[in-house]
Amino acid sequence: MSDYPSQILEQAVNQMASLPGVGRRTALRLVLNLLRRNEQDVDAFANAFIRLKHEVVYCSVCHNISDTAMCPICSSSRRDHATICVVENVQDVMSIENTGQYTGVYHVLGGIISPMEGVGPKDIQVDSLMERVASGEVKEVILALPTTMEGDTTNFYIYRRIRNLEMPEMPKISQIARGVAVGNQLEYTDEITLGRSIVNRTEFIA
């Protein structure tokens, strides 16, 4: 697709196609959908992103996205502030929140260590995690990073940093369980996952 009948249309398509996974043909379809809406709706569409970029902040404690200097989870007196769940990004916080199984607080690294992509420990929020742990009020750090080489590297880096803090009472360091996903067939589960699920078996409670 080339030769747009309008430069303004082409610029809008270029911007839409700058989103990851959106091709030029899809971008054109989305832009023409916008063009069929009234001015007020298009302004609301566009201003939502301007407002997002200009007004949204990152929580000063856990680095989650927030409308206020401290996010609702870090501000809540109903959460267990002695348990910190370390995640890669904002989506992970939302996924864990949706399980309804976690009452502690979070720490959003904003990435994981990946030498291949040039992401080192200084590029993610590890130092502020160490400050939180060093305060002495943290009883447990739960590592909830992806089961990849990068995730394992980051887990090990954080583990070492915490061990080096030399506190009078060290926090417990745990990681989320790895095993066969609920509803999955054993024969379609990869060997490493299946192997770990046997080694890390839990007591059967009827």
Our CB check for its own copies shows the closer of 72 and 115 to be 72
Query: What angle separates helix 7-17 from helix 24-35, to the nearest 10 degrees?
Result: 120
Question: Shortest distance, CB of residue 5 to its own copies, whole angstroms?
Answer: 5
Rounded-to-integer distance, Cα 124 and Cα 161, Å: 14
Parallel, antiparallel, or unpaired: how do β-strands 65-66 and 57-58 relate? antiparallel
Question: CB 150 → its own copies: shortest distance, Å?
Answer: 18
The answer to whether residues 25 and 1 touch, using CB atoms and an 8 Å cutoff, is yes
Q: Shortest gap between Cβ of 136 and its own copies (angstroms)?
A: 27
CA 183: distance to chain centroid? 24
Q: Which of 23, 69, 80, 97 binds its own copies (CB under 8 A)?
A: 97
131 token code pair: 């400050």
Q: Is 32 in the site for its own copies (CB under 8 A)?
A: yes
113 binds its own copies (CB under 8 A): no
What are the tokens at 117? 């992509």
Give the closest residue to 88 by CA, choosing from 12, 34, 147, 137.
Answer: 147
Question: Binding to its own copies by residue 192, rule CB under 8 A?
Answer: no
Closest distance of CB 96 from its own copies, Å = 11
Question: CA-CA distance, 55 to 160, in Å (whole number)?
Answer: 36
30 touches its own copies (CB under 8 A): yes
Task: Give the nearer residue to its own copies in terms of CB position, either 198 or 206.
Answer: 198
In this structure, the number of other CB atoms found within 10 A of the CB of residue 178 comes to: 13
Residue from 94, 119, 123 nearest 106 by CA: 94
Is residue 194 within the footprint of its own copies (CB under 8 A)?
Answer: no
Q: Which is nearer to its own copies, 35 or 167 (CB)?
A: 35
Can residue 186 be called a binding residue for its own copies (CB under 8 A)?
Answer: no
Write out the residues near its own copies by the rule CB under 8 A: 1-9, 11-12, 14-16, 18-22, 25-26, 28-35, 37, 39, 42-56, 59, 64-67, 71-73, 89-91, 93-95, 97-98, 187
